[in-house]
Amino acid sequence: MMFDGEQPCDHQGKPLTKIMHQASKRRLGGGLVITHSFSSKPKIGYYADFYEKVTTYEAILSSQAAQIDSSVTARTFRVVENTDETSPFMYMDTASTRAGIGAITQKLQLHSIHIVGLGGTGAYVLDAIAKTPVSQIQLHDGDIFGQHNAFRAPGAPGIEDLRRREPKVDYYKGIYSRMHRGIVANAAHIDASNVACLRDADFVFVCIDNGDAKQLIIETLEDAGIPFIDVGMGVQFADDGLIGMIRVTTSTPAMRAHVRDKKRIPLHSANENNLYARNIQIADLNMLNAAMAVMKFKKLFGFYVDLEGEHFSALSIDGNHLLNEDAA
């Protein structure tokens, strides 16, 4: 183990001779310089991996310092900025490396994901997708971020945020661009004039309740062979409470027919007698709807194991009953 700095000592100021190997200044190239090298192997003669090796030496050195000042630590968890401009992240994904799932996480390294609609569920989808290594996240919504949105959105907008009355896509880009480099804001609803922009997507989350717009989007994505997930929520009054369900419908090139044959996605315009027309949305339901959608997306790309291959899921709120159907 190589080390740069003064001679390591114990808490009494005596050199740690038991681990010392050499004490000489060496230039390793690339600006790296060392002044000491250590050697302290376990009884079996080797370490299981570099993590065990590094943490063992860290424990030897820091234990002596801790006897002088118990508050000191070598594990500062300093922020590691990402200098690789090809990476989508502003700083290193230490969560994946810490958990040892880096290789699995790379399965989500797509080029472009589009999120259509940021009114409630779509914002929570963004919150999760911004933490994946997808290169580009395209946001589509033509509405302003208003006060009512704050109560069903991730985070805690301040009064000044609401007073700006900026487009939802700009509001969310301002937040998530601090973490992800590839956020693109499109301040417009998807219609016939711009639906073609979805054709470059690897995957699309449809998070709107306009049936006519959904029809156009679905036809475009099917024609382009693009997989997508449509989310929905139906909540209504019952006695002194609320009942309803949240839905996730998946459509892939291998499984399309169920969308129309079983009417898995509402494609009609809202009306007074339609459950979806009330548009009651609650933050926790938006959050759960988004979580179900993102989990299914991750199953499709091999991040999670998918034993059922369901392309339709519905959760009843009152009984907490989850229905999975339309297996591929």
With 90 as the cut, is the pLDDT of residue 171 above it?
yes
With 60 as the cut, is the pLDDT of residue 306 above it?
yes
Mean pLDDT of 251-256: 97
Write down the pLDDT at residue 145: 97
Write down the pLDDT at residue 277: 56
Highest-pLDDT range among 17-26, 201-210, 234-243: 201-210
Compute the distance between CA of residue 290 and CA of residue 246 in angstroms, rounded to an integer: 10
User: Coil, strand or helix: which one is 103?
Assistant: helix
**Which residue type sits at 262?**
K
Where is average pLDDT lowest: 159-163, 222-226, 237-241? 237-241
**Which residue type sits at 130?**
A
| Reported confidence tier of residue 278, pLDDT bands at 50, 70, 90 | low
Compute the distance between CA of residue 235 and CA of residue 219 in angstroms, rounded to an integer: 27
Phi, psi of 190 (to 5 degrees): -80, 125
With 50 as the cut, is the pLDDT of residue 272 above it?
no
Mean pLDDT of the chain: 92
C-alpha closest to that of 300 among 243, 246, 237, 229: 229
C-alpha closest to that of 315 among 307, 325, 303: 325
**Integer angstrom CA distances of residue 11 from 28, 66, 68, 141, 195:** 30, 8, 6, 61, 68
With 50 as the cut, is the pLDDT of residue 208 above it?
yes
Write down the pLDDT at residue 270: 54
Determine the topology of domain 94-327 in CATH: Rossmann fold (3.40.50)
Compute the distance between CA of residue 113 and CA of residue 126 in angstroms, rounded to an integer: 10
pTM: 0.85
Specify the higher pLDDT residue, 278 or 191. Answer: 191
- H-only helix segments in 108-178: 121-129, 147-150, 159-164, 168-176
- Contact (CB, 8 A) for 174 and 305: no
The edge-to-edge listing of strands for the beta sheet with 2-3 is 2-3, 32-38, 20-29
CA atoms within 13 A on the CB side of 249: 23
Helices (H) and strands (E) in the chain, counts: 10, 11
Sequence ranges of the chain with CATH classification 3.40.50.720? 94-327
What are the pLDDT digits (tens) for 92-140? 998 998 898 999 999 999 999 999 999 899 999 999 999 999 999 999 9
